[in-house]
Structure 1
Amino acid sequence: MSAPAHAEDDNGVPYWASIDAEVANMRVGPGNSFRIEWVYRRMHLPVKVVRREGPWRQIEDPDGTRGWMRDLLLSRQRGAIVRAGELVEMHAEGNSGSALLWQVEPGVVGLLGECEAGWCSFDVEGHRGFVREDAIWGAGAP
């Protein structure tokens, strides 16, 4: 029997997840009766799960905002967001000497692959390459 695609209870916290819905509400508490604080409309936006309560997850977004979201709105598929600052170079291989493919703007969200030696595989809507691990939020230990 295969495991469901949403973030599961059998894993410890903290852990990385990503938003897996076109629209995802962050609430001030763990339940539908709590007020909605933020509405997210960014698929694959990385979040850090810091606490579990039943089907609810307390998450932290890239800006440091914390709130509660249903586990069904989250995926274990890793995402990352380019940190604020300068344009980030995406290279063909995991080193600065390889061919420069694109320059990625701060705030761009993509799917995160494996990270090794300070470089991470990064996929932005089919544009694949490698970016420096320190240029993205969502890589490394949560």
Structure 2
Amino acid sequence: MTVSGTVKRTLAAACAAVLTISGAAGADGAKVVPAAAGQARGPVTNLPLPRFVSLKTDKGNARRGPSLTHRIDWVFTRRGMPLQVTAEYGHWRRVRDRDGQGGWVHYALLSGVRTVLVEQDMLTAHALPNPQSPAVAAFELGVVARLGDCIPDWCEISAGGHEGWVPKTALWGVAPDEIRD
């Protein structure tokens, strides 16, 4: 039995429509499950999407798709670098860095330890989350720091044996509305 081209195209279109309506997988196989509170959740971990993680190793290959057979598009080479998870598929997480570079990374290369990237040169850290409080440190542009507590406009960070409170707007790796205790 042979199937004509028209029947094949019609069948393919019907399958695509069913997948689109059911909200199944995206073009790269990633699923995003909407949460009741309006925030999407990953289908594998049930954690919020997007969310921030950090690179656990000195080298992490970002691939075009979620498997070892996909080509490597990017290599992350900085341990602790904050990354944003935007999708999940099996043991793979689609991530991006602050410049938008990224791809699919195996979950074993990622850590839940929160870090941030300092986006302002010689960022003054204060003893308290107040610009009038004493300065206790200064962080250079590009420093990867450990993320501590966050209130609406400030976050506590630490790096190189120094810690202090800095404006949240000077950091990448923390959501603008994120609160951490």
- Is the TM-score greater than 0.5? yes
Question: In structure 2, the residue corresponding to 1:21 is in which secondary structure?
Answer: coil
By how many angstroms is 1:22 displaced? Answer: 1.8
Kindly report the root-mean-square deviation, in angstroms, between the aligned alpha carbons of the 2 structures. 1.7
Is 1:64 matched up with 2:103?
Answer: no
The partner residue of 1:11 within 47, 61, 72 is 47
Is 1:74 matched up with 2:114?
Answer: no
Identity of aligned residues (%): 34
The structure richer in helix per residue is 2
Partner of 1:109: 144
The structure richer in strand per residue is 1
Question: In structure 2, the residue corresponding to 1:134 is in which secondary structure?
Answer: helix
Partner of 2:71: 35
* 4+ long deviations beyond 2 Å: none
Number of aligned pairs?
A: 134
Question: In structure 1, the residue corresponding to 2:49 is in which secondary structure?
Answer: coil
Is 1:133 matched up with 2:164?
Answer: no
By how many angstroms is 1:91 displaced? Answer: 1.3
By how many angstroms is 1:131 displaced? Answer: 1.0
Aligned partners of 1:66, 1:25: CA distance in 2, in Å? 9
Question: In structure 2, the residue corresponding to 1:72 is in which secondary structure?
Answer: helix
Bigger relative contact order, structure 1 or 2, given CA contacts below 8 A and separation 6+?
1
Amino acid at match of 1:110: A
Is 1:119 matched up with 2:154?
Answer: yes
Aligned partners of 2:69, 2:94: CA distance in 1, in Å? 15
Check conservation: 2:66, 2:105, Cα contact below 8 A.
Answer: yes
Q: Which has the higher Rg, Structure 1 or Structure 2?
A: 2
**What are structure 1's unaligned runs of at least 5 residues?**
1-7
